[in-house]
Amino acid sequence: MAYLELDRVAKQFGVQTVVDDFSLSVGKGEFISFLGPSGCGKTTTLQMIAGFLDPTRGAIRLEGKDLTAIHPAKRGLGIVFQSYALFPHMTAAENVAFGLEMRKVPRAERAERVRAALAMVGLAGYEDRHPRRMSGGQQQRVALARALVIKPSVLLLDEPLSNLDAKLREEMQIELRQIQRTIGTTTILVTHDQNEAMSLSDRIVVMSQGKIEQIGTPQETYERPASAFVSQFLGKTNDFAATIDRTATPARVVAGSWSAPAPAGLSGPVTVSIRPERIGFGDAGLGAKIVTRIFQGNHWLFQCDSECGPAIVIRQNDGKAQPAEGEAVRLAWRPEDMSVRGAAA
Amino acid sequence: MSAVADTAPPGAADARIARAPWVLSAPALMLFVGVLLIPLAMTVMLSFHDWGQYKGIEPVFILKNWHEIATDPYYAEMFWRTFRIAILTTLLTALLGAPEAYILNRMSGRWKSFFLLVILGPLLISVVARTLGWALLFGGNNGLVNKLLMSAGLIRAPIPFMFTETGMVIALAHVMMPFMVLSVWAALQRLDPQIENAAMSLGAGPITTIRRIIMPQIMPGVLSGAIIVFSLSASAFATPAIIGGRRLKVAATLAYDEFLNTLNWPLGAAVATLLLVALVLIVVGSNALIERRYAEVFR
């Protein structure tokens, strides 16, 4: 039984369709990410759930009840904004207490819950600080405490970590995941950062131009991208133009001097898609020359000029000797690591 | 820099650097001293001089003018009226201007720039013309509005507007409104665009959001607008002169009359000096209070 359900939701601004045919069912306690480039409609979808925008078509249901009929102030959702939108004239404790005040929680209980919420995000002792006297990370934590203290049915996070520096962002990701696991709040995160989506979520909704490209676990979307867009957007990928050779039995998929048994049901020109870390240097395979070799600590990044155009290869720094720039190599990979897309036979 | 150090001893170069700011700001300082400080000092000095109907101004040091202002209730009434009008004008502009700026800020693109122009437009028209407009509408039996209402039988006598404090407050508020709107507008620009959504998501209705979230944040804007409006209204001349005339004098028109009609320059100078000192004290004092009270919002 779906906890939060979006049923063919669409949003139009004038003639422009920003979100189209968006259907998703979220289970209770699940952590979902909306992932896509800016302008793909992910924030618009979030704002429709929050109630700041009304869907043009479709329904949004929470525990079977129509959410669009409820005023945003009555939906009881917790929202963390990209800019945090803290109240600058109130202290951290007053910020967190605001939602409880609106719910007419008695003063003593309010104080206790505010204290607990601030302690949970690691800000015990910061009760009387004003937001402008806090660092970005601390403000972010206050915003999270403010959204969680009202025990929201769903927590909505709108690019909450995008204003933090890389190191702090990583710390907050881990912390966010731990907090969410502990209290079990159903959470929807909007992000354009694929690493963030992959490390935090149970499932990722990859969006492009207002449409859902794929819904799946982080591993599914990475290993078995449903479209070229998904494979390009989630990490680096190599796309080689290839053909199906039907004269051989069984049929083979051929790209330059590399070939492998063809998957059933394909013919004509196809695209072979392979992640750079799944490519190895072998004795046989796609002919290539190393153009640049970049050392990145735990791995090497090779940019190659192959028979089928530019290719990138990532090799783990396992201490073994690596080919040098200008060296001719053969690129090879296991057939199960690639995905072949093309016209259906 | 190294060329200077090569040719001159290091001490001279240091002295030259230390002098530079003074040399560079000298023209502006000279202008400031010449057209503001010297006339101001002369006015203050003038207020201690003696004056008689037949002997004119006598450059002596006496407290006659100050004594007259301090003891004659006529002057107390005049100053009290001046500040009463300034306070009421400030309240009126704040009550109308703050919501006006808020509504303006919520308008979408094209309407916003259009109405901003409507609000700022009057600044391009002379204060005298704008105040005379009020006189044309409400001036006695011949005022346009009075004429219409009387011929429609809605009122028997003209609405009292000219030569009343109410009329002066309304006309001044009209003239000062752009300053208040602009000041609040600037404060609204500093608001987080998501702040109202944040309040709403926590369960606050629109009135609570305005009262608890928006108002405290734009208050510094309202208050700095109030300081501008208050000091401009208390020292305003054109509007009180046209609406109040000789019958309803304020400090500025009083000083003007002493200078140009009675020709008692020393008394006029004392009135002007007192108005200036009172205004400076009020403005500096309230500014300090505001900055302390709203330290967190200003940061």
- How far off is chain B from A87, nearest CA to CA, in Å? 7
Same domain membership, residue B72 and residue B38:
no
Q: Which of A128, A64, A117 is nearest to A91 (CA)?
A: A128
- A104 interface with B at CB cutoff 8 Å: no
Mutate to test the interface with B, among A87, A105, A113, A155 (most CBs of B within 10 A): A87
- Domain check: are B70 and B42 in the same one? no
Shortest distance, CA A77 to any CA of chain B (angstroms): 7
Contacts 24+ apart (CB under 8 A), A59-66: A59/A5, A59/A6, A59/A7, A59/A8, A59/A9, A60/A4, A60/A5, A60/A6, A60/A7, A60/A9, A61/A2, A61/A4, A61/A5, A61/A7, A62/A3, A62/A4, A62/A5, A62/A153, A62/A154, A63/A3, A63/A153
Token pair, residue B290, equals 């505001």
pLDDT at B237 over 60: yes
Residue B189 placed within a domain? yes
Greatest pairwise CA separation for chain B in angstroms: 92
- Which chain B residues touch A150 with a CB distance below 8 Å? 202-203
Order across the sheet with A211-216: list the strands: A78-80, A154-158, A186-191, A31-35, A203-208, A211-216
B53 within a domain of the structure (yes/no): no
Read off the pLDDT of residues B115-133 as tens digits, 9 standing for 90 and up.
988 888 888 889 999 899 8
Do B27 and B84 belong together in one domain? no
Task: Strand A238-245: give its sheet, edge to edge.
Answer: A258-261, A252-255, A238-245, A266-274, A339-344
Determine the structural domain holding residue B26 and report its residue range: 1-46
For residue B218, the chain A residue with the least C-alpha distance is A89
Among chain A residues, the shortest Cα distance to B200 is held by A73
Q: Are A317 and A263 in contact (CB under 8 A)?
A: no
- Taken as a whole, chain B contains a residue count of 299
Residue B236 sits in the same domain as residue B163: yes
As given in the structure block, the two tokens for residue A328 are 């001719």
Query: CB B195 to CB A73 under 8 A?
Result: no
pLDDT for A200: 92
Most B CBs within 10 A among A98, A142, A156, hence the mutation to make, goes to A98
Average of pLDDT values for B218-243? 93
Instruction: State which residue of chain B sits closest to A75, comparing Cα positions.
Output: B201
**Positions of CATH 2.40.50.140 in chain A:** 238-344
A102:B201 CB<8 A? no
Work out the pLDDT band at B254, boundaries 50, 70, 90: very high
Q: CA of A73: which chain B residue's CA is closest?
A: B203
CATH 3.40.50.300 residue ranges in chain A? 4-233
Beta strands at B50-52 and A16-26: parallel, antiparallel or unpaired: unpaired
How far is B64 from B55, CA to CA, in rounded Å?
15
* Comparison of pLDDT for A219 and B156, the residue scoring more: A219
Query: pLDDT tens digits for B70-98?
Result: 999 999 999 999 999 999 999 999 999 99
For residues B8 and B88, state if they share a domain.
no
**Is pLDDT at B296 greater than 80 in this prediction?**
no
Q: Who's near B53: CB < 8 A, 6+ residues apart?
A: none
Q: Please tell me whether residue A61 adopts helix, strand or coil conformation.
A: strand
Residues B69 and B37 in one domain: no
| φ and ψ of B193, to 5 deg | -60, -20
- Evaluate if residue B3 carries a pLDDT over 60: no
Domains of chain B: total:
2
- Residues B41 and B102 both lie in one domain: no
Output the pLDDT for position B9: 62
* pLDDT surpassing 70 at residue B298: no
Please say if the pLDDT value at position B291 is more than 80: yes
Question: Looking at the complex, does the CB of residue B217 fall below 8 Å from at least one CB of chain A?
Answer: yes
**Is A102–B213 a contact, with Cβ atoms under 8 angstroms apart?**
no
**A16-20, B245-249, B253-257 — which is least confidently predicted?**
B245-249
Looking at chain B from residue 158 to 197, which residues have their Cβ under 8 Å from any Cβ of chain A? 192-195, 197
Percentage above 70 pLDDT, chain B: 95
Residues 6 or more apart whose Cβ sits within 8 Å of residue A344: A265, A266
| Helix, strand, coil tally for chain B in percent (to 5) | 80, 0, 20
- Chain A residues with CB under 8 Å of B200 CB are 51-52, 72-73
Inter-chain CB proximity B212 and A146 less than 8 Å: no
Which residues of chain A neighbour B217 with C-beta distances below 8 Å? 87-89
**In this complex, which of B194, B200, B201 lies closest to A83 when CB atoms are compared?**
B194
State the amino acid at position B148 in one-letter form. L
The predicted pLDDT at position B156 comes to 83
Cis amide bond preceding A37, omega within 30: no
Strand order in the sheet with A299-306: A280-282, A328-332, A286-295, A299-306, A309-316
B14/B84 same-domain check:
no
- Residues of chain A neighbouring B195 (CB-CB closer than 8 A): 85, 87
Tell me, what CATH number does B230's domain have? 1.10.3720.10
Q: What is the mean predicted confidence (pLDDT) over B244-258?
A: 90
Do B37 and B119 lie in a common domain? no
Question: What is the least distance, in Å, from the CA of B94 to any CA of chain A?
Answer: 21
Structure-model confidence comparison of residues B155 and B1, the more confident one: B155
Residues B22, B165 within the same domain? no
Report residue B4's pLDDT band, with 50, 70 and 90 as the boundaries: very low
| Predicted local confidence at residue B5, as pLDDT | 46
Does any domain span residue B60? no
Q: Which residues contact A79 (CB under 8 A, 6 or more apart)?
A: A50, A147, A155, A156, A157, A158, B197, B198, B201
Alpha helices in A184-310 (DSSP H): 194-200, 218-223, 228-233
The encoded tokens of residue B96 equal 């109308």
Mutate to test the interface with A, among B201, B213, B293 (most CBs of A within 10 A): B201
For chain A, the farthest-separated pair of C-alpha atoms sits apart, in whole angstroms, at 81
pTM: 0.81
In a domain, B55, yes or no: no
Per-residue pLDDT of chain A (345 residues; tens, 9 = 90+): 689 999 999 999 989 999 999 999 999 999 999 999 998 999 999 999 999 999 999 999 999 999 999 999 999 999 999 999 999 999 999 999 999 999 999 999 999 999 999 999 999 999 999 999 999 999 999 999 999 999 999 999 999 988 888 888 888 899 899 999 999 999 999 999 998 999 999 999 999 999 999 999 999 999 888 888 898 888 888 888 888 888 877 888 888 888 888 877 777 788 888 899 999 898 888 899 999 999 988 999 999 999 888 999 999 988 888 888 988 999 989 888 888 877 543
Partners of residue B212 in chain A, C-beta under 8 Å: 98
The CATH number assigned to the domain with range A238-344 reads 2.40.50.140
CATH of span A4-233 = 3.40.50.300
Q: Please say if the pLDDT value at position B247 is more than 90.
A: no
| CB contact residues (below 8 A), chain B span 13-42, against chain A | none
- Put residue B232 in one of left, alpha, beta given phi > 0 → left and psi -120 to 50 → alpha: alpha
Q: Judge whether B176 lies within some domain.
A: yes
Examine the predicted complex and report whether its ipTM is higher than 0.95: no
**Residue B174 counted as domain residue:** yes
> What pLDDT is recorded for position A261?
85
Q: Are both B259 and B290 inside the same structural domain?
A: yes
Question: Could you say which of A52, A75, A89 has the minimum Cβ distance to residue B217?
Answer: A89
Does B56 touch chain A if contact means CB atoms closer than 8 Å? no
**What does chain A come to in residues?**
345
Q: B57 lies in a domain?
A: no
In a domain, B56, yes or no: no
If you measure CA to CA, which chain A residue comes closest to B198? A85
